[in-house]
Structure 1
Amino acid sequence: MARRRKQNNMDQRTKVILVIVVVFVVILAFAYMNLHQKSKKLEKEQQQVEAQIKKEKEKKDELKKKKEYIKTKEFIEKTATEKFGLLYPGEYLLKGSD
């Protein structure tokens, strides 16, 4: 009889420990799934930011080229002719009919 009580107590302890372990594993599984989803979201955001950085670098390069072009004599002459109608002496501006 005493042996059965001891065995019953051991079985109950085992069951309690087993339930605690199962609950702990389930909590860890949910935590892992949550972290995995956050990780995927952050990876996606990182890719978007990297794409934006690449786009902005390309825009920066274009602006540098435009800045250099603006400093050229060709740009100055073209702008003076188109916007202000200025010409070199002896030069004539021919306009086509619309």
Structure 2
Amino acid sequence: MATSPRYKKGNIQNTYGMIMATVAVALLLVVVLVRSFGLVQKRDQYQSRIETLQAQIDKEQKRSEEISEFETYTTTRKYIEQIAKEKLGLVYPGEIIFKDKGAGN
């Protein structure tokens, strides 16, 4: 049985179509791999940024707690007395103050 020229032409076209489809899929695969590599790098950058920002948040929360503690301390009588003595030089009646000779005061 002899093959017809029409059958050979269809077989060649079929082979050519398969090769083109394979090339298209390969190109698509390369594009997807390149894009995924870029996305992985971006994800790593964002993760690093998240860690940096979380460290800053923790630091600011600690600072906020310290400020809150200081605010509470500033309302105490002990703090008021300390500031009155240090800044204003006030003392209780009958209190004796000793000054260091080397202080220059």
Give the TM-score normalised by the residue count of structure 2.
Answer: 0.87
Unaligned runs of 5+ in 1: none
Q: Which of the pair has more CA radius of gyration?
A: 2
Query: Structure 1 residue aligned with 2:74, among 66, 70, 74?
Result: 70
- What fraction of aligned residue pairs are identical, expressed as a percent? 27
Unaligned runs of 5+ in 2: none
Return the alpha-carbon distance in structure 1 between the equivalents of residues 20 and 101 of structure 2: 96
Which runs of 4 or more aligned residues in structure 1 lie more than 3 Å from their structure 2 counterparts after TM superposition? none
Letter matched to residue 78 of structure 1: Q
| Per-residue deviation, residues 16-61 of structure 1 (Å, max 9, x unmatched) | 1011001100111111111111111111111111111110000000
Give the TM-score normalised by the residue count of structure 1.
Answer: 0.93
CA RMSD of aligned residues (A): 1.0
- Could you say which residue in structure 2 is the equivalent of 1:19? 23
SS at match of 2:95: coil
Query: Structure 2 residue aligned with 1:83, among 75, 82, 87?
Result: 87
Letter matched to residue 90 of structure 2: L
Residue 69 of structure 2 is aligned to residue 57 of structure 1: no
Letter matched to residue 38 of structure 1: K
SS at match of 1:55: helix
- Could you say which residue in structure 2 is the equivalent of 1:95? 99
How many corresponding residue pairs?
98
Return the alpha-carbon distance in structure 2 between the equivalents of residues 33 and 88 of structure 1: 74
Residue 47 of structure 2 is aligned to residue 46 of structure 1: no
Query: Structure 1 residue aligned with 2:32, among 28, 35, 42?
Result: 28
